[in-house]
Structure 1
Amino acid sequence: MREPRIDYAAVFRALPGMVALLTPDLVYVDANEDFLRLAGRTREQLLGRYMFDVFPENPNDAAAAGMRETQASMLRVVETAERDTMALLRYDIEDRARPGHWVEHFWSPVNAPVLGPDGDVVLIVHRVEEVTELIRARGGTGSDSNRARVLEAELYTRSRELQDVNERLRRAHAHDREVALALQAAMLPAPTLVGHHRAAVRYRPAVGTLNVCGDWYDLVDLPGDRIAVAVGDVVGHGLRAAGVMGQLRSALSAAARVADGPARAVEALGLYARHVDGAESSTVVKIFIDWATHTLTYSSAGHPPPALLDPDGTVTFLDRATDPPLGARPEHVPRPQASASFAEGATLVLYTDGLIERRHEDIDVGLARLTDSLVRHGQSDPEALADALLADLLPPTGTTDDTALVVLRL
């Protein structure tokens, strides 16, 4: 039987959803029919032209960042030869029929590399999901309502993308250690979004069984000289816990980009967690760091308190905004939020309970060990301090709980 001849150009143009091909210099070489239709451009207006000449930033919106974020994502693809999934973004488009009139759009983009024989990136596949109508369908015109609509669409997009990952995790063989650790590493990458501020992250798996659990960390750039940092812990072990961890981490990362503070971000995560099987009783702490005001704003859902080491050696635990874990209350209530100032050169340490808690021992004993280690090694750079904390606080034979750790020099 002869194999059918496939016209791949025709297949590309008929693909459902918006898909375009660009060179590493971000020049359009092709676009499918849905891309042309939803972007409001003809093939002649697109092909052979630089992406941001066709779609410039809205000059009437001083806060617009769609062009910068899209360009940064595509350049990461060219540099790393790896797929880059972007957070939901607003990117307005000028109406060709009415010059000077900009139409609001919300997009969920993914950029992926096409490699040549030598392994270099020769094309970028730019796939975009148009989610503007999803946001508009929720109604509302106030700023809080707009943030809520953006947040809901963002969480929807992230949860949809992670459903496939979670399902594959559930089907993975329970004793395939190498696969489990590879998945864990993929969901907890090294931080790349902390600007010029020095940070170190560590993850140590539990001893025994599958060696993969539900501890996680996340760092997110925010507008201005600000970042959001979080650590969290999902109850349980194994691939199921890792799958839930991936969903919560992505959801909170999305919430931090549109919420007006850590409490609102944790509230949104709590609402989302109610619909994720296995997320009940998960803990998390979220901190917004503002270098312009030297302020830490934080909110905790049942998580051990972060430690702030001042340059003079004083250790303070951020424990003034602690609430029960996610899903612990039968009804949703607002989360607490507190702030603390910090001095230049201070060190912030976030961690999960595997670092400090031991069976048959009061948690205060573990916090005292952490304090002592911070005082002794506090002048070290973040990488050295992270290693010292693990060496001091984790037993040489390992623990039955995994440990996530973030050390950030302020």
Structure 2
Amino acid sequence: MKYVIIIPDGCADEPLDSLQGKTPLQAAKLPAMDAIAAAGCVGVTDNTPADFPAGSEVANLCLLGYDPNEFFTGRAPLEAAATGIQLGPYDCAVRCNLVTVEDQIMIDFTADHISTEDSTAMLGELNAQLLRCDDPPIDPEVASRLEFVPGVSYRNLLIYRGDEAHPSPFTPTTRSSAPHDLTDLTVAEDFPRGPGSDILVALMSASEEVLAAHPINVARQKAGKKTATHVWLWGSGGAPGLPTFDERYGLKGVMITAVDLLRGIGALAGWPRIEVEGATGYLDTNYAGKGEAAIKALAEYDIVCVHVEAPDEASHEGRADAKIEALEQIDRHVVGPLWDAVKNDSSARILVLPDHPTFCRTKKHTHGPVPLTIAGAGIPADSASTYDEISAAQTGLVFDPGWTMMDRFIYPDFQA
């Protein structure tokens, strides 16, 4: 069997007045997704358990069949895996965004989509002035064990290296808030809390002075761009231990994404990744390149997973028009070519679904069901003819809990 998984991140939404009561999925022209819906089945799954944050970290684990109660340790460790960072038993990873905060309001959780080059330079300065200086703003022993590690654009990490005598000061009860859920909101009540939070808050506060004087920020301000005013530290956790897909199903998979979170989950699942030139993790990503890479990968791999971040980014900006455009690009350049490649293959299946809902109205991830559609070998057709939240809710096909869906997608005897 060949399996194709397409994840249009955050594409599930709610009816919007600006779209005459339609959701973006309903308003968009999606002939390929609708063709899959008509050929197979449509239903819902919930990848955001109520006792976990409604974030991509938990949702994508669930989507790929991993019970977060057993396997989730935090977001940052998943992203650390993407860069090949090995975490020991006393280590910890913390997600580090470069953000724009003004008067305690989260203006931009991406610092105006700061470039990787600029971000890397700024983190280097933070290492020098906050962690490797003579008078750090935190305990010197802790500072000596911490390091800011560049990632992609605004998405970076803070790594703690511990030992038996100096285990991580951050524990599973260390609480923090995702900055993308605070857009245009006050951050006053959302600083880290719990064990080790004093360290995180001190570094977040101290970063303001260092970053304000950085030549890159001075130049950005003169150019009329938003500046990176602070680091925002969140999503801490220790090393996760996931069984690979090969161990679970005897299948060889590959991940295509521009986002470190999905790269990391893929790496832990035993999947190599294909890097597509021009894939940005934003609205300007190379949709066609992702589709072409996925089709080529079908010849070598049993499972090809394509993740596209663009719909989620549009939602975080509150732009329904951009979300519709992203969905149509995904349909045209990713879903359509892949459906054409497998629809006549008697030993192939295709699955389309987002990880979680992201509402344009609130600009936030949210808990709740997402629509999915599956077609191909052994998949019975139902009465649905479109792929959207409304039609999915009407078929009666429900995967609950969400992490049970992958077993039914993979195993030969699929039953709706």
**TM exceeding 0.5:** no
Q: Which structure has the larger Rg? A: 1
TM-score, with length taken from structure 2: 0.28
